[in-house]
């Protein structure tokens, strides 16, 4: 008797229900579910889920740092290797001009930001897809999954900043006194990165093959972003548009000015980057929340 029951539902709409009561063909339109986001409630939920974020991040970190030496090495190896290559190619061959600042330091600052972004993007994009079984069984605000990956990337970034400190020693310079400017830039960096991770994570659930785009974005991005070269290399009249699309450009440039050159970041560029990353964050969040309701259906 197993096989015969499955498909009956479709042709019975609007007819007699089994119990003899008439069921309408569809729900009344005014009752169709619409997602309403109440900021207070959302914030409250997210705050309540902090344990979960911590536990998820801890799990990733623990898996990676099980062998403490290697785990640590992975966090610094990639940026250091890239840094070495950039020094050879861009400094020696292309002759990027960095003024009084050693090129290696110049490139490494950019690489820390880039590495943070690409880690969060790559891991964050898969964070929902990899946890579908959990998503299907227990309720939590789903944005915690990309958030946890960003937390992991933050730990890696902290290690990278430690290495940057060592580099200052090696090159016998000190971070400039203007380094406090880094803080607002950090906020912009986090906002933009999280926005992108939110968009990609939910996109990957619905379109599994989007994940194949990630390596392409990563590889093109490292050259399309002023990591190896200064923002000034981008034609002057395009700079504002560029920063609007990719706030990381202004963020990296700002860090360099603040940490290495002892200047304040360009106000106009920073404002554009801040506005743009806010758009990415809010837009990404709304996009995420809109599509979030269907995740369990397709899991």
Partner 1 sequence: MSRDYPLGTIRTQQVWKRFRADQQRMLLRDRVEQAARRLRGDRGEDWRWALRDIDLHIEPGESVGLIGSNGSGKSTLLKMLTRVMYPYAGIIDVRGRIGALIEIRAGIHPDLTGRENIYLFGALLGLKRREVAGRFDDIVEFARLGGAIDRQVKFYSSGMQMRLGFAVAAYLEPHVLLVDEVLAVGDAVFQQRCLDRMREVAEQGTTIVFVSHDLPAVQSICRRGVWLEQGTVRVDAGIKDALAGYRDSIEAQSEATARVGEPLALLKYEVRGEDGEENLHTDEPVTVELTLGGDYRGDATLHLGVSEGTSSPIFQISHEIRLTGGDHRVACVIPRLPLPRGRYTLWTGVYSIGKTDGGTLMSWHSAGQFDVFGPMLDTPPRAVVLAAPVFVPHQWEE
Tell me the site size for partner 1, rule CB under 8 A.
Answer: 48
The interface region with partner 1, picked from 51-59, 98-106, 236-244, 279-287 by CB under 8 A, is: 51-59
Residues paired with residue 22 on neighbouring β-strands, in sequence order: 16
Under the criterion CB under 8 A, does residue 6 sit at the interface with partner 1?
A: yes
From candidates 40, 68, 93, 138, binder to partner 1 by CB under 8 A: 138
Under the criterion CB under 8 A, does residue 134 sit at the interface with partner 1?
A: yes
**Strands in 132-197 per DSSP E:** none
CB 112 within 8 A of CB 164: yes
Under the criterion CB under 8 A, does residue 52 sit at the interface with partner 1?
A: yes
Least Cβ distance, residue 51 to partner 1 (angstroms):
3
Buried b (16+ CB within 10 A) or exposed e, 26-49: eeeeeeeeeeeeeeeeeeeebeeb
Residue 146 CB partners (closer than 8 Å, separation 6+): 120, 124, 127, 128, 194, 197, 198, 201
Residue span 61-100 as binding mask against partner 1, x where in contact by CB under 8 A, dash where not: --x-------------------------------------
Under the criterion CB under 8 A, does residue 223 sit at the interface with partner 1?
A: no
Under the criterion CB under 8 A, does residue 51 sit at the interface with partner 1?
A: yes
Instruction: Quote the CA–CA distance of 150 and 124 in Å, as a whole number.
Output: 7
Residues 149-208 that bind partner 1 (CB under 8 A): 205-208
Q: Which is nearer to partner 1, 7 or 237 (CB)?
A: 7
Collapsed DSSP state (helix, strand, coil) of residue 58:
helix
Under the criterion CB under 8 A, does residue 15 sit at the interface with partner 1?
A: no
Under the criterion CB under 8 A, does residue 293 sit at the interface with partner 1?
A: yes
Under the criterion CB under 8 A, does residue 137 sit at the interface with partner 1?
A: yes
Q: Which two tokens stand for residue 100?
A: 């009084």
CA atoms within 13 A on the CB side of 25: 2
> Distance from first CA to last CA of the chain, Å, rounded?
28
What burial class does residue 81 get, using C-beta atoms within 10 Å of its C-beta: 0-12 exposed, 13-18 middle, 19+ buried?
exposed
Under the criterion CB under 8 A, does residue 217 sit at the interface with partner 1?
A: no
Torsion angles phi and psi, residue 214, rounded to 5: -60, -50
Under the criterion CB under 8 A, does residue 47 sit at the interface with partner 1?
A: no
Q: Which residue has the tokens 């799990």?
A: 59
CB 287 within 8 A of CB 199: yes
Q: Which is nearer to partner 1, 251 or 295 (CB)?
A: 295
Under the criterion CB under 8 A, does residue 216 sit at the interface with partner 1?
A: no
Binding interface with partner 1 (CB under 8 A)? 1-2, 4-6, 8-10, 12-13, 17-19, 23-24, 26-28, 31-33, 35, 48-49, 51-52, 55, 59, 63, 133-140, 205-210, 293-294, 296-298
């Amino acid at each position: 008797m197993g096989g015969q029951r499955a498909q009956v539902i479709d042709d019975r709409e609007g007819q007699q229900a089994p119990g003899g009561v008439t069921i309408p063909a569809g729900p009344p339109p005014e009752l169709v579910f619409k997602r309403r986001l109440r900021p207070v409630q959302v914030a409250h939920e997210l705050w309540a889920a902090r344990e979960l974020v911590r536990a998820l991040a801890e799990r990733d970190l623990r898996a990676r740092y099980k062998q403490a030496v290697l785990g640590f090495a992975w966090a610094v190896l990639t940026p250091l290797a890239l840094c070495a290559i950039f020094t050879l190619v861009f400094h020696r061959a292309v002759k990027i001009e960095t003024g009084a600042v050693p090129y290696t330091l110049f490139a490494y600052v950019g690489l820390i930001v880039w590495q943070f972004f690409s880690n969060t993007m790559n891991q964050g994009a898969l964070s929902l897809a990899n946890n579908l079984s959990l998503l299907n069984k227990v309720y939590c605000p789903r944005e915690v999954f990309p958030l946890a990956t960003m937390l992991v990337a933050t730990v890696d970034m902290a290690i990278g900043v430690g290495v940057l400190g060592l580099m200052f020693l090696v090159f016998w310079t000190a971070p400039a006194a203007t380094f406090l400017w880094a803080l607002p830039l950090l906020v912009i960096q986090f906002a933009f990165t999280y926005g992108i991770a939110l968009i990609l994570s939910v996109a990957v659930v619905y379109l599994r093959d989007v994940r194949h785009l990630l390596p392409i974005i990563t590889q093109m991005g490292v050259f399309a972003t002023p990591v190896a070269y200064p923002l000034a290399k981008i034609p002057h009249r395009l700079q504002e548009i560029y920063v609007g699309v990719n706030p990381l450009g202004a963020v990296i440039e700002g860090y360099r000015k603040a940490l290495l050159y002892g200047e304040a970041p360009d106000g106009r560029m920073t404002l554009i980057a801040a506005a743009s990353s806010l758009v990415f964050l809010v837009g990404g969040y709304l996009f995420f929340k809109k599509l979030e309701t269907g995740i369990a259906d397709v899991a």
